[in-house]
A = this chain, B = another copy of it.
């Protein structure tokens, strides 16, 4: 993006290693793909009355033995703030896909539980969503690229997790 930049004025005497062509391609590719890809996946969910976020809630709950999760655990899974999760669940609850139930063990805790209707709707939606992920992303890539992406993302997340722990 910044090809017209001249020597930076206030750099503390470090050379400022600019991005090479391949590095720039990867970086701009990342930035410019996030929006369109998310939008395409979300558009394919519209007929089912779900957003990407809604789908993730149902998917995480269904991956659980008793189809329920504590709010705080679910919020962590979704990388969502507590208040964000509260509001997201509001919609799913009024649509009857998820129920809120206080925990018997710990009365501070609210359990988000997948209702039968929610499970049915997820099972109806999942094949189409999976197809969407394949069409817009996975099936466009060859196995070597799939593998490289998996390794790359793992490295980045490991690095970020380490930094986060350093700060705490």
Contacts and interface: CB of A to CB of B under 8 A. Distances in A.
Interface of A: 1-6, 8-11, 14, 16-19, 22-23, 25-27, 29-30, 32-38, 40, 47-49, 56, 59-60, 62-64, 79, 94-96, 120-121, 123-128, 130-131, 133-134, 136-138, 140-141, 143-157, 159-160, 163-164
B143 A22 contact: yes
B16 A130 contact: yes
Contacts of A33: 153, 156-157
Given A30-B149, A145-B148, A1 B123 contact: no
Nearest to A49: B2
B2 A153 contact: no
Contacts of A30: 137, 149, 153
A71 B4 CA distance: 21
A60 B5 CA distance: 11
Nearest to A9: B123
Given A17-B134, A26-B153, A150-B29, A48 B123 contact: no
